[in-house]
């Protein structure tokens, strides 16, 4: 019988690659700003390809690309009629990608996220959020997902609504907050309290995703780990956010003076990028802290995922092509390499 997420986490770390939205924007398949995953309908083969690259890099989870494919986002681009086909197609693409790797023990997850309509002072928004979460969770359940991630949510009250929608369908729930500057949820809870509240309400895994780079995520993960008894998740963005600028939403690139508006987010973050080794260090830290749901959010590329998977002791398919600089014409040590190319100082 197939092991469920919690059994897998009890046995050791799992890797979850995310970041489809940014990856598709960079490749030219959706627009920064509205950030709606229309690519799921217009170019499903591109989404499928990225799933496969992440799987080859060692992701144990194929996350259906439903992030920001929700009712509010489709309304803003005037395409609400595409909601159901988009959601269902994203789930099918993920399932198909999983099925093309029969030898691997992959899990498929559904995804619900910040609705951008939640307003603590507007009780109607609670109902609208609930409806949005319920319809998405229902479609994910119909598609047979292994679990659902509720993520990038900054309000405890909004997370509660998402969690209830998932648990009402009897599914395993991973609840990941995105924490803004100020180190509290938007409704003023400490990160630890926000996680404890949601664990007590039945979340199976609690943690953080998005907004923050590895260091600014890890500083909270350690406290979460000490204060909850369920599994903990950490999925930072691969950008070097700092104590001064803890999130990537408002961060400058001081070495560049031609970024329109002077904010590196979201399309000029390149110079703040973490390399694969930095992401591998984050993954190793997670294992040491007993944080077993390890991943990466906006900005992720397969090379990050591969190094993270290797760092936690996995042997991903694409590690077949891990670097081997012994064969490099200038840096290499292979005896057949020409001395004339090794002597020159570049
Ligand atoms: Zn993200």
Ligand 1 midpoint to CA 16 (Å): 12
Tell me, what's the pLDDT at 195?
A: 98
Ligand 1 midpoint to CA 123 (Å): 27
Ligand 1 midpoint to CA 130 (Å): 22
Tell me, what's the pLDDT at 2?
A: 87
Q: Give the ranges where the chain is alpha helix by DSSP (H).
A: 5-11, 20-27, 39-42, 44-56, 71-76, 83-99, 123-142, 156-168, 191-200, 214-227, 276-288, 302-311, 339-343
CB contact at 8 A, 269 and 242? no
Profile the chain (346 residues) by mean pLDDT over runs of 10 residues.
94 98 97 93 98 98 95 90 95 98 97 96 97 97 98 98 98 98 98 98 98 98 98 98 97 96 97 98 98 98 98 98 96 95 91
Given this structure, which CATH class describes domain 5-343? alpha beta
Tell me, what's the pLDDT at 62?
A: 98
Ligand 1 midpoint to CA 341 (Å): 43
Tell me, what's the pLDDT at 206?
A: 98
Which pTM was predicted? 0.97
**Spatial CB neighbours of 94, under 8 Å, sequence gap ≥ 6:** 51, 62, 63, 64, 65, 108, 143
CB contact at 8 A, 147 and 171? yes
Ligand 1 midpoint to CA 327 (Å): 37
**Domain ranges across the chain:** 5-343
Ligand 1 midpoint to CA 6 (Å): 23
Ligand 1 midpoint to CA 20 (Å): 9
Tell me, what's the pLDDT at 16?
A: 98
Ligand 1 midpoint to CA 138 (Å): 23
Ligand 1 midpoint to CA 27 (Å): 17
């Amino acid at each position: 019988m197939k092991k469920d997420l919690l059994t897998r986490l009890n046995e050791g770390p799992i890797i979850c690659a995310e970041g489809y939205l940014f990856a598709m924007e960079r490749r030219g398949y959706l627009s920064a700003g509205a950030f709606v995953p229309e690519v799921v309908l217009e170019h499903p083969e591109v989404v499928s390809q990225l799933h496969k690259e992440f799987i080859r890099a060692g992701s144990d989870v194929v996350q259906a690309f439903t992030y920001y494919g929700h009712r509010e986002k489709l309304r803003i681009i005037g395409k609400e009629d595409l909601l159901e086909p988009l959601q269902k197609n994203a789930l099918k693409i993920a399932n198909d990608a999983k099925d093309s790797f029969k030898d691997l023990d992959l899990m498929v997850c559904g995804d619900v996220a910040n609705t951008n309509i939640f307003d603590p002072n507007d009780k109607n928004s609670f109902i609208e959020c609930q409806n949005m979460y319920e319809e998405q969770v229902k479609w994910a359940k119909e598609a047979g997902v292994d679990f659902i991630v509720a993520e990038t949510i900054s309000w405890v009250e909004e997370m509660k609504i998402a969690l209830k929608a998932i648990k009402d369908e009897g599914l395993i729930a991973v609840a990941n907050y995105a924490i803004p500057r100020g180190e509290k949820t938007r409704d003023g809870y400490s990160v630890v309290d926000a996680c404890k509240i949601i664990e007590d309400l039945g979340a199976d895994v609690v943690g953080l995703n998005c907004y923050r780079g590895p260091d600014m995520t890890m500083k909270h993960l350690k406290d979460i780990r000490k204060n909850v008894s369920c599994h903990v998740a950490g999925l930072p963005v691969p950008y070097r956010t700092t104590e001064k600028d803890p999130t990537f939403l408002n961060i400058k690139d001081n070495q560049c003076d031609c970024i329109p508006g002077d904010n590196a987010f979201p399309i000029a973050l390149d110079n703040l990028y973490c390399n694969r080794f930095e992401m591998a260090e984050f993954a190793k830290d997670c294992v040491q802290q007993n944080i077993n749901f390890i991943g990466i959010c906006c900005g992720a590329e397969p090379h990050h995922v591969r190094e993270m998977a290797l760092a936690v002791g996995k042997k991903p398919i694409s590690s077949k092509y891990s670097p081997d600089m012994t064969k490099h014409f200038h840096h290499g040590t292979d005896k057949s390499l020409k001395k004339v190319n090794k002597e020159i100082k570049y």
